[in-house]
Every structure is written in structure tokens, then in C-alpha cells.
Amino acid sequence: MKKWSDDEYIEDLKEDVLERGEDDKVAIAVENLYKSFKLPTEKAFGLKQAIFNRLKGIKGYRRQEVLKGISFEVKKGEFLGIVGRNGSGKSTLLKILSEIYIPDKGTVRVNGTLVPFIELGVGFNPELTGRENVYLNGALLGFSNKEMDEMYDEIVRFAELDQFMDQKLKNYSSGMQVRLAFSIAIRAKGDILVLDEVLAVGDAAFQEKCNDYFKSLHGNQTVILVTHSMDNVEKFCDRAILIEDGKIACEGKPGKVTKAYQKLWS
């Protein structure tokens, strides 16, 4: 059978969803989020300039408002896509959801465990073996060794890297490295998965496998996906959000949002 024996895993997820019951259907509630950054102006570097600025009352930075009042909800089991141009605030939003940044104003309520993938393979070290990297990455994501033991075989199987796990990562091809990182991402058992533009990895066969996997997740796993690929939005997402200039410009069915996205350039 072409359908790899992941059905068990999916069943597992389904049961989890059923067990949780109807008591709380909201996975993430974001309310009125504001975030700005201090960006140093180019003249702010160096001691001389700092003193000069202080004397003249020039602030050495300007405030860049990145998020200006974002509110949305994600239901349990929902696959939400977030789209927008470069610099519109998508990644900042994900980083706030992942508790990397602290918002200036507004609240984020997360129901369950959130596993963030702002980048694949965070903490990967070329001098460590594949196995060591998997456990290190897992620890960074908040999994215990025992939990990683349980996930390990699935991760290796999905990445198809069985014979390479005791090799140092620097001896992997870049495709193999990404495959390993990506397998950790999608095998990580969390209630909510946050993915930042990580779908385009591996060769065609691996891509297809990932696509199948994402489709099979449908309705079982809460996922937030930031992407520039409108194809992926229409293929996987239940709902999408378009962020423009730090605000939600459009929200709703994938088809509607992708149209709004394409209109940004017309």
C-alpha cells in the first residue's frame, strides 16, 4: 500500500480530539495585539554620536509599529493560513504567539501546548550526529527525553534517514538536513503547530509525502501556517487571514483571501 502506516498515528490524534470533548473549542484567542520595535537610526552608533544626540535631544531610534491591533481566533482542529507581503508583520505575530516577543498591548490565550517552528532545525549543530540533533532540537521545543524516545522512530522513518542517524550532521546533504528538521516539525506532538514558511523542502517525492501528510491532518490537528504560496493556502487551509500593514485586511475562506492577496499587486 502507498498509504504509509501512519493511519495509526492519525487515529491517535482523532482520539485525542474526541477525548478533549466539546468543553473548549478555541485553541488560540488573540485580542487586540500591538507590537512596535525600536529601530536605531543610522546615526545612533558609537559613543560620540550617542552623546551628541543626547545633547541635541535627538532620540537615537525611531518606533516602527509592526502590529496595530490584531484580533482573531483559531478553533481546535482548524488549519489556519496567514498570508501577507514581506514585512507586513506575519513573523512578528508568530513570534508573539510563540512567546518569543512580548506584545506592547493585547492578549494571547493559548489552550494546550503550542509547538513553534519559526525556523526548522533550531539549534542544529553540524558537529553532532543526527540522533543527537534530534534530541537537542526536541529539548528546545520542550519535549522530555521520554517523549522524544517515543517520537524518535517515527521521525527517522518519515525523514527516511535510518542509516544516517549516527553520522554527523555536517556529512548530510542539505536536503537531508532539511528533511530531518521537517520531520521533527511534523512529528512533534503538540496541540497546536505553528509553521513559518517551511513547506517547500526536499525533493519531489518528499514534497508529495508531506502534502499527503498535511491533508491527512485535516480536522485533527490545529495548525497555523504562514506561507507565500497561495497554492498551499487553498490546498490545506480551512480559513485564512491576510495581514497588511500590521492589520487584518481580509479574513475568511481561503479562496477569498488568496484573491485579496493577489489584488495587493494589481
Residues at the interface with another protein (CB under 8 A): 37, 95, 98-102, 116, 118-119, 122-123, 125, 127-128, 132, 135-136, 139-142, 144-145
Residue 84 and residue 251 in contact, taking contact as beta carbons nearer than 8 Å? no
- CA torsion angle for 185, 236, 264, 118 (degrees, to 10)? -10
Residue 111 and residue 190 in contact, taking contact as beta carbons nearer than 8 Å? no
Nearer to another protein, 129 or 216 (CB): 129
CB of 30 to another protein, least distance (A): 16
Nearer to another protein, 70 or 96 (CB): 96
CB of 132 to another protein, least distance (A): 8
DSSP string covering 177-210, please?
A: HHHHHHHHHHH---SEEEEES----S-HHHHHHH
Nearer to another protein, 51 or 140 (CB): 140
Nearer to another protein, 88 or 98 (CB): 98
C-alpha distances (whole Å) from 77 to each of 61, 217, 239 are 42, 9, 12
Vertex 171: Cα angle to 170 and 175 (nearest 5): 90
CB of 104 to another protein, least distance (A): 12
Amino acid at 236: F
Three cell numbers, residue 87: 514585512
CB of 198 to another protein, least distance (A): 12
Nearer to another protein, 113 or 207 (CB): 113
CB of 208 to another protein, least distance (A): 28
CB of 137 to another protein, least distance (A): 9
DSSP string covering 14-32, please?
A: HHHHHHHTTS--EEEEEEE
Nearer to another protein, 10 or 50 (CB): 50
